[in-house]
Amino acid sequence: MRLLSLHSEDIKSLIDTMESEVKDIKSNALKLSWYMRGAVTYTDIMNMSSSERSSISDIAKENIEISKKSGMALM
């Protein structure tokens, strides 16, 4: 219904925005799967809800910061 009320240039803008969001979601999922070292796969992450992905991303960021502060190697 939303698309029916939009002009063609607005539809193009909406599609561009959605494509950018999809690219960001995929990029973040790949980064998270790398940080998780196989404990959570890319597919697992893509099957999570947005709030689950956000939570696991926050956990990864916290652990990265803890590693930096402690001088422990991240890799």
CB 53 within 8 A of CB 31: no
Tell me if the pTM is above 0.85. no
- Residue-level pLDDT at 5: 86
Query: Diameter of the chain by CA atoms?
Result: 55
pLDDT (tens digit per residue) in 13-55: 999 999 999 999 999 999 999 988 888 999 999 999 999 999 9
CA 46 to chain centre: 9
